């Protein structure tokens, strides 16, 4: 019960950082060598690696954020995450494998919202001195057609 609560806290903090546009905090939810990927389910089920974002380590995540802030050009937009069904698949004292559902609504120019992405997270969470962190987070999305572009991690 306590573990489930702590994992929920981690996830709540993670989605709040993204939805509140505190992108610089996003890499800090991972271990320094943590992995983050966004992969369409059609590839995942075939065992194919190609996806939209592949960050191997916090350095690549920070580069992604700097690029998003300084280099890339896009219409102003925000996410709102809805997550559910956090399930513990396996656990040891310091490492937990979890799965949960996510739905991301994207609002563009504070005018219209659409279902942007729907899928599941498959996470490996590890205990660190600073608390639970993602060692691996894979967002496996089902609606393979990405509308126009994806800028912000989900």
Partner 1 sequence: MQVGDRANVDKGPSPSGGEVRFPGSDGSSVPFEVYSSKEIYDLEQERIFRGPTWNYLALEAELPEPGDFKSTFVGDTPVVVTRTQEGEFAAWVNRCAHRGAIVCREKRGNAKSHACIYHQWSYNAHGDLEGVPFRRGVQGVAGMPESFDLKQNGLRKLRVASYKGLLFASFSDEVAPLTDYLGERMLPGIDRIFHKPIEFLGATRQYIHGNWKLYMENVRDGYHASLLHTFHATFNLVRSNQKARVIGDTSDLHTCGDLFITPDPSGASDYKDIATFKDKLSLEYPQIVENRQEFEELVANHLQCIFPQLVIMQIQNVLAVRQVLPKAPDEFELIFHFFGYADDSPEMRRHRVTQMNLVGAAGLISMEDGTAIELVQDGIKSGPQGHSIALMGLEAAEEDQERVPMAENHIRRFWRGYQRLMGF
What is the Cα–Cα distance from 94 to 91, expressed in whole angstroms?
A: 8
Residues that bind partner 1 (CB under 8 A): 38, 40, 42-43, 46, 48-57, 59-60, 62-64, 66-67, 70-75, 108-109, 111-112, 114, 144-151
b/e sequence 111-146, b meaning 16+ C-beta within 10 Å: eeeeebbebbbbbbbbeeeeebbbbbbbbbbeeeee
Nearest to partner 1 of 102, 132 (CB atom): 102
Nearest to partner 1 of 4, 75 (CB atom): 75
> Closest Cα partner for 150 from 92, 72, 84?
72
Nearest to partner 1 of 31, 43 (CB atom): 43
Residue written as token pair 């916090």: 58
What is the Cα–Cα distance from 94 to 96, expressed in whole angstroms?
A: 7
Minimum CB separation of residue 68 from partner 1 in Å reads 9
Minimum CB separation of residue 126 from partner 1 in Å reads 21
Minimum CB separation of residue 25 from partner 1 in Å reads 16
Minimum CB separation of residue 100 from partner 1 in Å reads 22
């Amino acid at each position: 019960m306590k573990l489930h609560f702590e994992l929920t806290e981690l996830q709540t903090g993670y989605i709040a950082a993204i939805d509140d546009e505190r992108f610089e905090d996003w890499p800090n939810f991972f271990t320094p060598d943590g992995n983050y990927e966004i992969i369409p389910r059609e590839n995942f089920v075939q065992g194919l690696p190609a996806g939209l974002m592949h960050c191997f380590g916090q350095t690549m995540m920070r580069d992604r954020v700097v690029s998003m802030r300084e280099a890339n050009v896009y219409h102003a937009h925000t996410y709102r995450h809805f997550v559910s069904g956090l399930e513990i698949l396996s656990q040891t004292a310091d490492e937990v494998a979890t799965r949960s559902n996510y739905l991301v609504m994207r609002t563009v120019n504070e005018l219209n919202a659409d279902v942007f992405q729907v899928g599941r997270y498959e996470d490996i969470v590890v205990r660190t001195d600073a608390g639970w962190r993602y060692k691996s987070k894979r967002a496996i999305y089902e609606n393979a057609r990405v509308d126009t572009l994806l800028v912000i991690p989900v």
